[in-house]
Amino acid sequence: MTTRPQIRSGRIALVGSDTEESRLALDSLAERYGNAPPEEADVIVALGGDGLMLQTLHRFMNSGLPIYGMNRGSVGFLMNEYKEEDLLARLGAADVTTIHPLFLQAVDQSGGHHTARAINEVSLLRQTYQAAKLRISVDGRQRLEELICDGCLIATPAGSTAYNLSAHGPILPISAPLLALTPISAFRPRRWRGALLPNRAVVDIEVLEPGKRPVSAAADHTEIRNVAKVSVQEDTGSSCIMMFDQEHGWDERILSEMFRY
């Protein structure tokens, strides 16, 4: 869903990565526009790369505060162009998109229970030289009895241009009510390329032979080792708010990626 931001007080909170480039940008913007505490701000301005943006989105999840990123990193797909001039006007004119993260529930080999949320993707990855063996069910119905692979991932539209794209998964428009289920280096069935699922789907993955073929699960920056089974679904009760300049909004970025290759 895309709307317009509500910049009432003109107060912004600045956050940045640990790089010198980000620190210099933060100091310069703070001198020009101020740097309010997040609880007093209308918007968070994040200075760094995509990693910093993901950290900021997790930090302010469910706060109702929109996050506007400016690229001071290396990739910057989630970021806007860095410009110091007319920042308040840019914020007031920006498109605002609300996204929902994935919710991961995992049980490890010792019976421990874990939860985490992911804005980009939940991935399962082999931990040793041996391929993983996974059994995949969707909404309680077994769909793939055995997938032999390096791993697999479930990506949101927001994350479909990240690891999912590198694993040859499909790019999803940001407003598409879909999730991408994508194998990573599948050995058997070799020709399986994954599936597009409705965003209301619940994906259950069981690790076969977990002692011999250990698997880890990662939700963005959170990793859980030696998982035995996981369940993944969209968390409609949680949300993050992102802001993009109108002339280079998220829909346009994703459409450009579709025709880049």
Q: Which residues are catalytic?
A: 50
Tokens 């055995």 found at: 146
Q: Is the distance from CB of 104 to CB of 216 less than 8 angstroms?
A: no
Helix (H) or strand (E) holding 57: helix 50-59
Amino acid of residue 133: K
Side by side, the strands of the sheet bearing 195-198 are: 195-198, 178-184, 151-155, 121-126, 215-219, 222-224
| E strands present in 131-208 | 132-138, 141-149, 151-155, 178-184, 195-198, 203-208
| Distant-in-sequence contacts of 191-195, Cβ < 8 A, 24+ apart | 192/144, 192/147, 193/168, 194/152, 194/169, 194/170, 195/138, 195/143
